[in-house]
Structure 1
Amino acid sequence: MTAGFESVQQRLSELEAHLEQENPILINAVQGFRRLDSVAYELGLLAKNQSFANQVPWWPLIAILGTFSAGKSTFINDFLQQDIQRTGNQAVDDRFTVVVYGGDERSLTLPGVALDSDPRFPFYQMSQQIERVAGGEGKRIDAYLQLRTCRSERLRGRILIDSPGFDADAQRTAILSITDHIIDLSDLVLVLFDARHPEPGAMRDTLKHLVADTMRRGDSSKFLYILNQIDTAAREDNPEDVVAAWLRALGEVGLTTGRFYTIYSQSVAVPIPDPIRRQRFEHKRDRDLGEIYERIAQVEIERAYRIVAALRSTATILADESIPLLITAVKRWRMRTLLADIGVISTLIVLFLIWSISAGHWQGLTYQPGWLTILENLGLTWTLETLEMLLFIGMIAMHIGISRLITWSLLSWLKKQIAQEKLPGNIIDAFLMNVHRWQTIITGQPVGWNAWAEGRVAKVLHDCEAYVQSLNERFTHPSDTPRQ
């Protein structure tokens, strides 16, 4: 455990050293995560080889989502100016591909375990999540993920994720679970649709997951909806009808505001004989691609705000939900255990006294309990002190048994509460740690939760406001005062 703790701290120190040159403001965010870690360690919410900081991707993350043959891989190849992703009209890759910068001239492909076992990437321990939603699939992590390197300056300091198509039936549950995980962590999400299929009504399930379910999110502005391969509509009498059909379909599932981009790849474009129409299509394509590439270029700024928001969210949920739930569980366990102890032990004492009186006899003014007489008749000469000690040990054993029964009964309730929300920290482990501590039964408070711990969480929340202000001062100038 000590080795694991030192390894985590070493990784955080390396991250701080990297951020010192890239974005010093985020060093403060790392230190904020360290404060939350220290509180969680004391409460038992985190193992010493874990850190809340490792649950946040620290590199700008861009996700490319869409249906099969929507041109996702071609878009990535054009952006990186290298052919690293296979392309085609049919499904050419059924795995999530994480593309990162690599120093080698060749593009290397590594198995999914490279992502599942490295906390620097957003798929750390993804096999466990896959196993939860699709039993037996967690061990097949290589069938879902792969890591690919590319020596492109546009990729330096960024991570791109190319997804498999959504209209796949096989492995659908696990794929959608991974997709939701990607959406939560990404700084920018590009959702591509195929203009060659002008009947979007047949894809309502896909549209619902990619559009309707995201419009209710607080970070919906990070989604860019793109109708790709629009060049195929250039020979239509009214190419605008294709765009209008998609706009209606997206409007039906909730997308009524925001930009809807129309693009196509120059390298695989369908020839447009009419020069006037070709110029109009190229102009629209170049303008939309320029805006998309600009958003990608600014993803580092969005990443900084996203990390501060993740720190604030972790601290808020920890203070408002995780710890209160743990406190409630501990108090319920303590109250039920004490009441059960009093009830059971009182009953045993009363029954014991009744039996002792009924079996005893008077010797002068001294009462000799019947059970002592029986022991003497059996040749046992235990002293009263010895018997009291045995009785005390029996009461402790009874308390432990009662405590375990109540613990098991509360665990099912606690798991239901946790299942309703995605809470930071392992509340089950923290609860089990507390029910094995004597101080918990005395104080009724979780071990490690005190004014010091509460103050550290409050400080993180207070500092987050200062971090946001520092980011605003770095990237904006509301007073029109030049930055020195």
Structure 2
Amino acid sequence: MQASEIYVQNLEKHLSEENPLLVDVARNFQTIDKVAHDLGFIKPDQSTARQIPWWPLISVLGLFSAGKSTFINDFLGRKIQLSGVQAVDDKFTVLSYSHDPEVKTLPGLALDVDPRFPFYQISHDIEDAMAGEGKRINAYLQLKTCNSENLKGKILIDSPGFDADTRRATTLRITKHIIDISDLVLIFFDARRPEPGAMRDTLEYLVKTTADRYDSEKFIYVLNQIDVTAREDSLAEVVAAWKSAMTEKGLNVTQFYTIFSPEVELKAGNEYVQKRLEARRERDLADIHRRMQEVEVKRAYRILNTLDTTTKELKDQAIPELLKALSGWRAWTLRLDMLLLAALIGGAVFAGIITGFWLSPLIDAVAAFAALGILAIFHMIFSGIFKSAYRRRLSKRQKSMKLRFNLVRGFNKCANWRTFATGKIKGWSESIGKQLDEIENHADVMIQRLNDQLTNPSGKETEREKVREMVTEVDPSKGYDAETVS
């Protein structure tokens, strides 16, 4: 059994307990994997299901000393992250729930080799960003366990900060990976640094990675440490200055959450201003926490969307590009083979007429075998030339289309004698195309099922809700559960 199949089976087991709706999704990814494996788009030990995190993921990004770790500690109700005005931790910290009340810190290797976590094989990306650093995975990542109810069912990531000097390239590479896979991204700014100039590089990076994204709604911008600023300037002026600075960089932020640590005793010098700031902090913190608790729902939609886009990418982009390249390689090679064959036959006929070789069967046989040998040699030369040309073309197409499937690898596997002789590709047929169509349709159906679980557009009372009211009316102390209704 391949490693990818084992991974999906383990995933199905987990999802059957945590979210049964997504079990079918995992099986659909397994079908996509089989097609991609057969066509050579991915390696046997790879799986498209591994390209997305199956656990709800929240990332907390920002500068050093912007209050990220303090915010996380307040959310978890545990002082699990070090905090301070200086850079106290230069690693990405993945926080995961554990029944054990004791906090445990595990090395980055635990994340790099475990496909269940969002940093599976991230060492390869680190190596690409900075040669030799991939082996030092423990210097970039760590895993911490925490027994906090607020962490159940989700994974939280605390970043070391955008302004890491010596390893900035690698830090930004990992940050981009986190942004892509997160369900919610909290970006913290420090209100104590009113000069936007200090944030120039960070703002430019944020614009590059977050502007015009299809999932821009998952970004929350938090202006932290306003307890210090409020004593000196108007909060409205501070927020306006930050919005203006980000707008100048091309990032349109409609709302800033303004908070400070609940442990801080605010002394604004004016009782009215103080109460107003505290009320705003409580409102904004409550809204942020609400968004953090809703990531599980967003996770389900994200996975279903990934299934849909992966299927379409394979069916509508990767496979057509591969078929087109294989068809072109085969057609051009056949044309030159036919031209060479015609030239050899014409030459043999002309030589036979001139020299009278037709009267010597032995010489004619030797000449025929020599001609076939020449034809085979030139066929391999022609085939190799066209293969190289189509590899280069596919490589450019993959980069321009930003495909997750390796077109060149698929071409190398499928451009063989069987394909050349029959024109048919092992691993692809009309029935397989119909399977992919069914998966695409199934993704739409599952989104509708998820909508049915979470919405009721008609506003009509369902049978389950009626029974719930009946049970409560008879004996309110009994409450309501699924077993009673069934």
Q: Settle same-fold status: TM greater than 0.5.
A: yes
Amino acid aligned to 1:311 = L
**1:459 equivalent in alignment to 2:455:** no
Contact 1:108 1:149 in 2 (8 A): yes
C-alpha distance in 2, partners of 1:420/1:269? 54
Identity %: 45
Residue in structure 1 matched with residue 199 of structure 2 by the alignment: 203
Residue in structure 1 matched with residue 213 of structure 2 by the alignment: 217
Contact 1:39 1:456 in 2 (8 A): no
- Displacement of 1:361 after TM fit? 4.8
Residue in structure 1 matched with residue 284 of structure 2 by the alignment: 288
Contact 2:32 2:436 in 1 (8 A): yes
Amino acid aligned to 2:390 = L
Amino acid aligned to 1:115 = L
C-alpha distance in 1, partners of 2:388/2:367? 32
C-alpha distance in 2, partners of 1:99/1:405? 52
Amino acid aligned to 1:85 = Q
Amino acid aligned to 2:415 = V
Return the match for 1:267 from 254, 263, 273: 263
Amino acid aligned to 2:388 = W
Return the match for 2:320 from 316, 324, 328: 324
Alpha-carbon RMSD across the aligned residues, in angstroms, is: 2.4
C-alpha distance in 1, partners of 2:287/2:62? 19
Please list every run of 5 or more consecutive structure 2 residues that lacks an aligned counterpart in the other structure. 465-486
- Displacement of 1:21 after TM fit? 2.7
Return the match for 2:64 from 58, 64, 68: 68
Residue in structure 1 matched with residue 473 of structure 2 by the alignment: none
Change (3 A) 1:40 1:282: same
Structure with the bigger RCO (C-alpha within 8 Å, sep 6+) is 1
Return the match for 2:384 from 404, 409, 413: 404
Change (3 A) 1:212 1:420: closer
- Displacement of 1:82 after TM fit? 1.2
Please list every run of 5 or more consecutive structure 1 residues that lacks an aligned counterpart in the other structure. 373-381
Contact 2:54 2:303 in 1 (8 A): yes
Amino acid aligned to 1:33 = F
- Secondary structure of the residue that 1:258 maps to in structure 2? coil
Residue in structure 1 matched with residue 19 of structure 2 by the alignment: 23
Contact 2:91 2:159 in 1 (8 A): yes
C-alpha distance in 2, partners of 1:456/1:302? 27
C-alpha distance in 2, partners of 1:237/1:42? 64
Residue in structure 2 matched with residue 248 of structure 1 by the alignment: 244
Residue in structure 1 matched with residue 401 of structure 2 by the alignment: 421
Which stretch shows the higher mean deviation, 19-28 or 349-358? 349-358
Residue in structure 2 matched with residue 235 of structure 1 by the alignment: 231
Amino acid aligned to 1:168 = A
Change (3 A) 1:397 1:250: same
Residues 90-143 of structure 1: per-residue CA shift (max 9 Å, x gap): 222222211111233322222222211111111111122233343333333222
Residues 299-318 of structure 1: per-residue CA shift (max 9 Å, x gap): 10000100000000101111
Please list, as runs of the form range in 1=range in 2, the aligned pairs for 1:121-270 lying within 5 A after superposition. Answer: 121-211=117-207, 213-256=209-252, 258-268=254-264
C-alpha distance in 2, partners of 1:258/1:266? 25
- Displacement of 1:234 after TM fit? 2.1
Please list, as runs of the form range in 1=range in 2, the aligned pairs for 1:382-401 lying within 5 A after superposition. Answer: 385=365, 388-389=368-369, 391-401=371-381
Change (3 A) 1:429 1:291: same
Return the match for 2:455 from 470, 476, 481: 476
Residues 344-380 of structure 1: per-residue CA shift (max 9 Å, x gap): 444455556666666x357xxx644xxx8xxxxxxxx
- Secondary structure of the residue that 1:44 maps to in structure 2? coil
Change (3 A) 1:286 1:212: farther
- Secondary structure of the residue that 1:38 maps to in structure 2? helix
Q: Normalised by the size of structure 1, how large is the TM-score?
A: 0.89
